Structure 1
């Protein structure tokens, strides 16, 4: 780590001096931002219309506890259930820690871009002081971020702003990088607070050991303070393989009594069929559709692959059902349209009373503030199942809500071999009949340890790190596969490019999809520097799966 940070200092000094840069950086003002956050939370409770409800009282108790908790522990975890307000509560805790310990920055690391946009919007409302430019205080750093000026882009991309909200890809691949341009910002990390939100989803199993090595080194040697947050936290640091890397202790942010109180409330919110071992199996897609549509109301169905989600959505629509589809088969721009339509339909003031279905992939499991009447999901993992529960009757709007996991055998559906181990572990946990007796954290931790025994962990990157083989570390630590290609799907965007118009990187990303090279071959796309899809190969409902189905 020290080699990378030293190079980062040198590179940033050289780049800044060469460019003559003198960025205006807002003051941290941690204590003032904490007071502003307190006011924001108070206003939310008043605006809720029912501040004395059990849910709002629990959220208030949770916030107050995190806001006033001791800040001596440098590495903590927060396992409060989904929908309890972790984003603001843990931020209050980190702001207090930043004020007391003189932290340089606060980072919020998230797994998905769509969650980042939502989080940035909340934090800018809650933390920006009068007279400040929100984009200068809470910087949004990911590939789809848009900036009003070069200066704002610099504040985000060099991690200079007081608060930086970024993706796990940007955060961990920066640490792993061997390129000076990427490492330039790394020296901003020491002495900072880092909230890893939705921590269960930020990394695949094979990259967790090197990430744990870096987290503990930043904590023990570089003055960083971490909080790992998730509604389905698992204590991976207690696994023998992680202890061998570092036996650094991770402390619970919440006291046991409050954690139990929150979980008890969560357990009474919806019915979970996995707890009773009642998992239906469907012999084909028609049988599944008959089961899904027997209940009237809003329905969320999550399938395990992009192909499966698209095929189910197409079959539902062809059968005359009201259906929306959301997956990475769509461009970011089209996904945003779908998300806004979902929010419109779920808004109580809309009175959208007809039965309808959103068919999606795992992209809806984390962070999105959806509240459906019924939930269904193809059996995949205990974590994904419990996370999806946070999108069902999120605010206790319904008395009869349930989340039903199922299995299905249909040759038209896709299969992802990467899910084989977590799926088998989940099946074993269901058959054991013990899920209802375990806390969420203990159940998910048990599942994680079972997955580790069945394979998936890898210390190859750690071995390369010990040899200072930086090029090999960077190659081995990749969250996004190298075999994907950006393909233009928006015909208007393609027309602009063909006419020689200047297109921003954000506009290009929002109108494109990332396709594996194997999919490009299936679509018979011509090789070019920037391939594109025709109207016959893409639409706003099925995305690039239109031709493949």
Structure 2
């Protein structure tokens, strides 16, 4: 093997269009660089040695003449991902580490196409691991002139503690060794694909601004500085918030990484308290980032905005469906006119940033994804503090695989998980027996007693006429219902001035303007009647004297109560729960029906204290017991990884793990002159990413069926077959100043999730 400094290499990994072959990247350089980078990325996940091997072998297929011809423009597709997997399995075929070689075959084979299913030994064609290993591929044996793999070794001991879960109550727990093994394979895959992307990126485009962020101790200092303004509270409620905050900070330093809960009534200041715990805990135990997971995109901007004001915009990444970070216009990351935007887009690829604010959907679907674009971030979740805000909203139908993944992260990958809510579900039932979830709040029941500010009364069935009669008699009142159609129908029946409607059919800038107007009217004592969907139930800092809530789960009722007498300005507020009888409700989905039935029973049995720890525990206990235990994994995700010998179904699991089953489409609303100007800019810009980010406050997400109905009216225009916007000429006809985007009849039912 010659010295690369004196002998011109014959095999190359990549070429830049503007350079001749003298300056192309030598293949051996790419393999060694990727291996070293993958090893570094895999350290926090304890998979460094495995990741190194995948990095060294992933592109062996590029040693074929056919691939080298492709670099000079042959145009023929060449399978270059299979060679490394074949070579690794051949190398260890007669050794005890043979099963590990097959495990590493998944990330090597999938570093472009995605982690495959194992398939069957009889597979001859297709994308399964078994079929791919039988593929006839171009001769790549020339790699032996530059790389000696015979000295490679695989560890005999696995760096994880295997999972054991109780599947059926009162029965012995089941061994989920296969799940733990598959999770390790995902971490190896993540380290490999992130290293491959970044190494290639460095050669092709030059060094990018990655990793230039404040360290955790610096962020802790910024938060402590911000919190000093609350050091001498005068009101009782702020004194109690301060007690909760300091209890979290104290336990952050004394409790080792693990599972935690923060059970604090709505209005108790849990957003800042949980972040204070996370940063002090991370600084104390050498953890690298904080990941804040929120159930709703409608409230993510508010929390992210709080964090950006404290830490700086460049330290906080918002990553959810409303931000098109992973769109096709990757060249926009090269737009140097805004270095913050460029860094944030790069950080979204792999979460290499100290604070991430994301959604349940983005977080859990990434953990079970099989594509490289979604999996790059996984190795950076290791050694993090993960805060699950509104933990009662974790995806119930996927609870078993979701909690199994969280257990893996905490037990084997150095994570601390904090479940934060006013209505704490009993998550221990989804974890291995004996798992301890440590409470951070000082005496949660005393907190509930202190924060008791609302009397909850069950009115039984109310027609819309009866409900509107009540609402119109109040000067200031909030009414929350379960569907968009019901909310808009009730709104039209309100009388007098100061009436408002809120739903996600209103673009965020429109909704924020309405919320500000509502807040001013409430504080000045003016009439203010609001009818809303569940968009009002979390993260909205408003204070009504009276509230009405359509019967739903006790967790939703509790959230609605959090908007009533929030600042305890009066001895007690009132929340009236009612069962709606309405022409605006066509069908109530089964999950709402079931939760409502359980809530009805709990409201009866705990009539004196429906907003209390015992009532909440009774609600979730009954709700979970009503369901077949297997319903918490109704897509049978765990079955995809039950094989202890590594015959996994990565691709099948990825397709099945879809928290939002009904696809949605984002429509840009030309709400004002600024939005119209940005839409015009989007039509012609070479760098659409920054324009799209500015347009985010002017977007509405609707079901695909609703979008099709709207499109059939000819009122939706499209840019580059990708970005959809409401025709400004149709704005008045299809965007109501009170209710937002108007969906034609039969365009999507009741709008149940909005």
Fold match (TM-score > 0.5) = yes
Any idea what the Cα deviations from partners look like across 1:174-220, whole Å, max 9, x if unmatched?
1111110111111101111111111112x331021111000001111
Confirm whether residue 362 of structure 1 aligns to residue 530 of structure 2.
no
Which of 396, 411, 417 is matched with 1:205 structurally? 396
Aligned residue for 1:271, secondary structure, equals strand
Q: 1:175 to 1:525 in 2, by over 3 A?
A: farther
Confirm whether residue 263 of structure 1 aligns to residue 448 of structure 2.
yes
Aligned to 2:59: none
Which of 308, 324, 339 is matched with 1:124 structurally? 308
Q: Count how many residue pairs are aligned between Structure 1 and Structure 2.
A: 518
Aligned to 2:21: none
Q: Shift of the alpha carbon at 1:103? A: 0.4
Q: 1:499 to 1:14 in 2, by over 3 A?
A: closer
Structure 1 CA distance, aligned partners of 2:579 and 2:565?
A: 23
Q: 1:521 to 1:33 in 2, by over 3 A?
A: closer
Aligned to 1:540: 737
Aligned to 1:305: 483
Structure 2 CA distance, aligned partners of 1:312 and 1:439?
A: 27
Aligned to 1:457: 632
Aligned residue for 1:300, secondary structure, equals strand
Q: What is the TM-score with the length of structure 1 in the denominator?
A: 0.87
Aligned residue for 1:139, secondary structure, equals strand
Aligned residue for 1:279, secondary structure, equals strand
Confirm whether residue 286 of structure 1 aligns to residue 286 of structure 2.
no
Q: 1:191 to 1:498 in 2, by over 3 A?
A: closer
Aligned residue for 1:272, secondary structure, equals strand
Q: 1:452 to 1:326 in 2, by over 3 A?
A: same
Q: 1:265 to 1:184 in 2, by over 3 A?
A: same
Q: What is the TM-score with the length of structure 2 in the denominator?
A: 0.64
- Contact 2:264/2:444, CA 8 A, preserved across alignment: yes
Any idea what the Cα deviations from partners look like across 1:133-161, whole Å, max 9, x if unmatched?
x1232223234459743123213442111
Structure 2 CA distance, aligned partners of 1:309 and 1:213?
A: 37
Aligned to 2:187: 5
| Structure 1 vs Structure 2 CA RMSD | 2.7
- Contact 1:271/1:402, CA 8 A, preserved across alignment: yes
- Kindly report which structure 2 residues correspond to 1:215-364, keeping only aligned pairs within 5 A, or say none: 215-238=406-429, 242-243=430-431, 248-255=435-442, 258-267=443-452, 269-273=453-457, 278-283=458-463, 285-297=464-476, 299-316=477-494, 319-346=495-522, 348=523, 351=524, 353-364=525-536
Structure 2 CA distance, aligned partners of 1:193 and 1:280?
A: 43
Structure 2 CA distance, aligned partners of 1:489 and 1:33?
A: 37
Structure 2 CA distance, aligned partners of 1:473 and 1:306?
A: 32
Aligned residue for 2:401, secondary structure, equals helix
Structure 2 CA distance, aligned partners of 1:344 and 1:24?
A: 43
Structure 2 CA distance, aligned partners of 1:508 and 1:34?
A: 32
Confirm whether residue 519 of structure 1 aligns to residue 519 of structure 2.
no
Structure 2 CA distance, aligned partners of 1:16 and 1:481?
A: 33
Any idea what the Cα deviations from partners look like across 1:251-309, whole Å, max 9, x if unmatched?
22234xx3232111122x12111xxxx424223x2221111122223x21101101111
- Contact 2:320/2:359, CA 8 A, preserved across alignment: yes
Any idea what the Cα deviations from partners look like across 1:67-116, whole Å, max 9, x if unmatched?
11122251111101111111121222222221221101111111123432
Q: Shift of the alpha carbon at 1:23? A: 3.1
Structure 1 CA distance, aligned partners of 2:346 and 2:213?
A: 16
**Which protein has the larger Cα radius of gyration, Structure 1 or Structure 2?**
2
Structure 2 CA distance, aligned partners of 1:377 and 1:450?
A: 21
Consecutive unaligned residues in structure 2, runs of 5 or more: 1-182, 326-337, 747-754
Consecutive unaligned residues in structure 1, runs of 5 or more: 129-133
Q: Shift of the alpha carbon at 1:28? A: 5.1
Confirm whether residue 19 of structure 1 aligns to residue 201 of structure 2.
yes
Q: Which has the higher contact order (CA 8 A, sep 6+)?
A: 1
Q: Shift of the alpha carbon at 1:63? A: 1.1
Structure 1 CA distance, aligned partners of 2:611 and 2:468?
A: 33
